[in-house]
């Protein structure tokens, strides 16, 4: 009997050795489900880009420098994009995108949500790469919509996975209330813009570490752009004030100089920019349409500019850095012939005071 047991033990040991040599031994991957513990986006090793077309045939590719994301153990995936980190590789174009298009002072984030079906990914450890069509929920500019995306999931290792766009995802400006932003960009830059963009992404996720174990090392990071500088030079300051003057996001009660609360997000961003333009004096000028008498319009434009100046001073900007001017109806940007044109002429502008 003892000889039989020893022979059996030797046989089991031999089978274990053969299995190990053939790569059949149980591994940590087999013991841990693919989505177990969840996954965290590695932003430094990931990219999120969009492509737009101007003047009929000029394609421009831009991206975002700051985003974060998770995939939970049930496959629910979420990516949050800081829209202020938009990177076109040109400083003032970035500012136009933030203030005129995305209106980040009011809508700072885009949120992307989808779900990866654990059953569809069950064979990923063996096939390594799968392509699937996923419904994606996008929240952008105060609107939430659903898109379909071809997504490629590639297992890079036991603890690293890539989730990438198989084909560009098409997004229409009209679906997310961005037509007005397109019009502002076209006017500011003097170009025509196709009102549809395509988005591509290459996200790297690392499996969340088990308790007491270090997280896996992320792949080498591509170059990422920084956000706004703490201090701006004269040209950058002038460009930003010109762009802010086009935003149209400062509101007053009808016929009044009382600021509407909806103005606060833009004005707070303005205060931030003024604080990063040290030593410069800023002109705040009010403008009206041509309805009513010229004298009344002059008084109203002055009072509205003064209200904006008071808001800025209350946020800590020294009063001697501000010059308050009322221009009345004398400097329209368009003819006062329609309600829309009159609304454009009722505005607050900002400029650096030279000298």
Q: Which residue has the tokens 């419904």?
A: 135
pLDDT in the model for residue 294: 95
CATH of domain 234-352: 3.30.1330.60
Average of pLDDT values for 216-240?
73
pLDDT-based confidence at residue 29 (cuts at 50, 70, 90): very low
* Sequential DSSP letters for 178-221: -HHHHHHHHHHHT--B-SEEEEEEEEEEEEPPPTTSPPPPPPPP
Tokens encoding 259: 């600021």
Average of pLDDT values for 266-284?
95
Strand partners, 130: 153
- pLDDT tens string 102-127: 999 999 999 999 999 999 999 999 99
Average of pLDDT values for 31-60?
91
- Domain range annotation of the chain: 28-207, 234-352
- CATH fourth-level superfamily of 28-207: Lipid/polyisoprenoid-binding, YceI-like (2.40.128.110)
- Predicted TM-score (pTM) of this structure: 0.85
With beta carbons less than 8 A apart as the criterion, state whether 199 and 165 touch: yes
CB atoms within 10 A of CB 118: 14
pLDDT in the model for residue 209: 87
- pLDDT tens string 58-98: 999 999 999 999 999 999 999 999 999 999 999 999 999 99
pLDDT in the model for residue 220: 56
Does 24 have pLDDT greater than 60?
A: no
Alpha carbon distance 279, 269 (integer Å): 18
Does 135 have pLDDT greater than 70?
A: yes
pLDDT in the model for residue 224: 53
Does 198 have pLDDT greater than 90?
A: yes
pLDDT in the model for residue 178: 98
Alpha carbon distance 250, 258 (integer Å): 11
pLDDT in the model for residue 107: 97
Average of pLDDT values for 135-161?
96
Average of pLDDT values for 25-49?
77
């Amino acid at each position: 009997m003892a000889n039989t047991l020893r022979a059996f033990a030797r046989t089991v040991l031999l089978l274990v050795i053969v299995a190990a040599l053939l790569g059949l031994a149980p591994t940590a991957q087999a013991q841990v489900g693919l989505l177990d513990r969840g996954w965290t986006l590695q932003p430094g090793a990931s990219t999120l880009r969009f492509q737009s077309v101007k003047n009929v045939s000029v394609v421009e590719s831009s991206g975002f420098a700051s985003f974060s994301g998770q995939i939970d153990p049930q496959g629910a995936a979420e990516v949050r994009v800081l829209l202020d980190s938009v990177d076109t590789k040109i400083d003032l174009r970035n500012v136009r995108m933030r203030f005129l298009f995305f209106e980040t002072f009011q809508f700072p984030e885009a949120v992307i949500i989808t779900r990866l079906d654990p059953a569809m990914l069950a064979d990923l450890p063996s096939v390594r790469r799968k392509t699937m069509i996923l419904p994606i929920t996008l929240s952008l500019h105060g609107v939430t919509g659903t898109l379909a995306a071809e997504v490629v999931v590639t297992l890079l290792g036991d603890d690293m996975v890539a989730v990438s766009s198989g084909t560009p995802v098409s997004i229409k400006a009209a679906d997310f209330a961005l037509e007005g932003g397109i019009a502002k960009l076209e006017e500011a830059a003097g170009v025509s813009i196709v009102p549809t963009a395509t988005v591509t992404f290459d996200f790297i996720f690392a499996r969340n570490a088990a308790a007491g174990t270090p997280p896996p090392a992320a792949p080498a990071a591509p170059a990422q752009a920084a956000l706004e500088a703490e201090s701006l030079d004269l040209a950058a300051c002038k460009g930003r004030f010109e762009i802010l003057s086009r935003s149209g996001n400062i509101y007053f009660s009808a016929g009044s100089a009382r600021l509407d609360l909806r103005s606060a997000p833009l004005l707070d961003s303005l205060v931030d920019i003024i604080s990063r333009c040290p030593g410069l004096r800023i002109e705040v000028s009010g403008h009206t349409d041509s309805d009513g008498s010229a004298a009344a319009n002059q008084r109203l434009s002055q009072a509205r500019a003064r209200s904006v100046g008071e808001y800025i001073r209350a946020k800590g900007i020294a009063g001697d850095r501000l010059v308050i001017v009322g221009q009345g109806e004398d400097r329209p940007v368009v003819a006062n012939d329609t309600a829309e044109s009159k609304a454009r002429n009722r505005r607050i502008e900002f400029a650096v005071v030279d000298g």
